Amino acid sequence: MSDPSPLRELLRVQKGSRLKLADHDPDATHGWQKATAARESAKIDAQLADLQDRLWAEAKHGVLVVLQGIDASGKDGTVKRVMTAFNPQGCFVTPFKVPTAEEAAHDFLWRIHPHTPGKGEISIFNRSQYEQVLIVRVHELEPREQWSKHYEHIRDFEQLLTDNGTTIVKFFLHISKDEQRARFQSRYDDPKKRWKFSMGDIAERGHWDDYMAAYEDALSETSTDEAPWYVIPANRNWMRNLAVGSILAETIAELKPAYPPEPTLPKKLVIK
């Protein structure tokens, strides 16, 4: 990579800060052009593949990637893009949808914990524990005095994971309301994409401002040194891919994953 550090620092939600999404342009490219970003992303893919191989072989750290964003923000596309770099043997994707009756009968983290990564593994969450302070808040599924406690529950949960050797990196895919409209229209107009469209999407779009307020609070309350949030400008898919890939590669590289020492073997061996 040429130098991903500026993106990582520019897009990070600093611990203790109060995030205002209006200050983050979902169209921002931070000086990158599509062609150069594509070449850089190809290099990052190769680096991610190498890092995952070392991570798996070392079996010392786990990596949890959390993807959140409003409907049509590109979570599925990001998963597809990231997965091209990883061997699926050691990378697992979990989409969190409406809780089942069994899940709803337990605390909200009960269904999350079994999908966190083991040593050497990478887990990708498409939506996550954060739904409990997003959709639950917006639709008043719990009273404020209840859902507001979940920020602390989530911080404690993520601290538990990091204390056990899991590195957490969280991405909020930030698109504009107009971009969401265009993507919904594209889904509706394209017969091959129409299966992804629901009239419920239009109803949820009516809560845009409430969701933005909920995201601002969630990211402000839970971006920590151990489990930081990054606000990814996601109106342009190529910029989204570059930002997520570069931040993820730099984060894993800091773990310095290494192949284990070679076992003691005969000086000469002919396998028949």
State how far the Cα of 228 lies from the Cα of 241, in Å rounded to an integer: 18
16: left (phi over 0), alpha (psi -120 to 50) or beta: left
User: What is the four-CA torsion angle of 88, 39, 256, 7, rounded to 10 degrees?
Assistant: -110
State how far the Cα of 244 lies from the Cα of 94, in Å rounded to an integer: 18
pLDDT of residue 64: 98
The superfamily (CATH) of domain 5-177+208-253 is: P-loop containing nucleotide triphosphate hydrolases (3.40.50.300)
Q: Helix axis angle, 75-83 relative to 237-253, nearest 10°?
A: 50
pLDDT of residue 3: 47
Contact (Cβ atoms closer than 8 angstroms) between residue 97 and residue 131: no
pLDDT of residue 262: 83
Contact (Cβ atoms closer than 8 angstroms) between residue 111 and residue 99: yes
pLDDT of residue 264: 82
pLDDT of residue 48: 97
Q: What is the pLDDT of residues 175-222, one digit of tens each?
A: 999 999 999 999 999 999 999 899 999 999 999 999 999 999 999 999
pLDDT of residue 5: 46
Residue 10 class from Cβ within 10 Å (0-12 exposed, 13-18 middle, 19+ buried)?
middle
Where the chain has pLDDT below 70, the residues are 1-5
pLDDT of residue 71: 96
State how far the Cα of 255 lies from the Cα of 248, in Å rounded to an integer: 11
pLDDT of residue 110: 98
**Stated pTM of the model:** 0.95
